[in-house]
Structure 1
Amino acid sequence: MNSKNIFTLTGAFILYFLIQVLILKNLVVFGMGFCLLYVVFILLLPIELSAIPTMIIAFLMGFGLDIFYDSMGLHTASAVMLAFFRSPWLKVITPTGGYDPNTPPTLLNMGMGWFLVYSLPLILLHHLTFFFIDNMGTFLYLPMIYKILASTLFTFVIGVIVQVLFYKKRRGI
């Protein structure tokens, strides 16, 4: 990973963080769907990035969000869980010819079918972890399931919209 990639990832990290804290913190659809767009940032990290650096980046993002959300580790635990399962999931869904080097796993580079299979289960895993920890100690499982499904769909749709509007098809980050 060269210095240009590190600079780009740092800028993207800051941008996703600020958008999450300043804009999406209070955005809730129908009282159930929360947009946790920072998950998309973790998913769009370079494929070549191994699990440990991905988990460190996810930890930093989650910890920063926990400070602003006052959520006592919910974002950190969920983001690290997502980062932990990202690499094995990428190996499971590897295309026949493998991945092109330095190609980010975006919707425009990989296609809608691949991106759907890649991102939706990982977003669902993140949201399951997040809302299960948040719901710990209560018996409100049906509202929790609604929140998980609505938030997963909302985060995925906003993530796709962000990629279509602001990302371009390219090789390398």
Structure 2
Amino acid sequence: MPIFLIILFWVLQILIFRNFAFFNMAFCYIYIGFILMLPYEIPHLLTMIIAMAFGFTIDIFYDTVGMHMAACVFIAYIRPYVINVLTPRGGYDATMEISIQSLGFQWFASYAAVLIFIHHTLLFAIEAWGLNVFFQAIGKIVLSSIFTFGVFTLLQFLLFSRKR
């Protein structure tokens, strides 16, 4: 399944969402959904390497010189810590897939919202690189996080529908 997800998220980002923005403030970076859905049992270092390579390919098409790569590596780095904070005392099976259907909407929404917001904060902070566009960057972070979360949640329901 991960190869299918790599191709799907990459194609969606490059062909559809690359030039799709609301009022030049809300951008959809759906490609990070791939990183969020990587299996938990993949070693931490390997997850960061995968995120680095994936972010680098996005940077090539966006001509952003490492911005997406840096944000991807950072969310891959903090991902296990976010999962550990959100995991209940009984824990989850380490081989369980990370999706709304496996873990429930509330857990998945918390997990995805936190990592999407962190990714977008880092990405737009690198882009702004100064206080003169501070409020515009805050607007982009919030609106893009909401937009990306909405599209990612919709994709979760479309891709991983419950089998009856």
TM-score range, shorter chain: over 0.9
TM-score by length of 2: 0.94
Aligned to 2:157, the other structure's residue is in SS state helix
Task: Output the CA distance in 2 between the equivalents of 1:78 and 1:169.
Answer: 32
| CA-CA distance at 1:137 after TM superposition | 3.7
**CA drift at 1:156:** 0.4
The residue that corresponds to 2:146 in the other structure is 153
Q: Deviations for 1:23-70, whole angstroms, at most 9, x for unmatched residues?
A: 110010232110000111111111212321111111111000000110
Aligned residue number for residue 139 of structure 1: 132
- Counterpart CA distance in 1 for 2:6 and 2:112 is 18
Match for residue 91 of structure 1? 84
Moved more, 12-21 or 60-69: 12-21
1:68-114 C-alpha deviation (Å, 9 max, x unpaired): 11011110000000100001111111122211242111111111110
CA distance in 2, matches of 1:72, 1:169: 40
Distance in 1, Cα, partners of 2:43 & 2:62: 28
Gaps of 5+ in 1: 1-7
The 4+ residue runs of structure 1 with deviation greater than 3 A are none
User: Which residue, out of 37, 41, 50, partners 1:48?
Assistant: 41
Matching residue within 62, 83, 104 for 2:97: 104
Amino acid of the residue matched to residue 111 of structure 1? G
Identity %: 38
Corresponding position of 1:10:
3
Matches within 5 A, 1:153-172: 153-169=146-162
User: TM-score normalised to the size of structure 1?
Assistant: 0.89
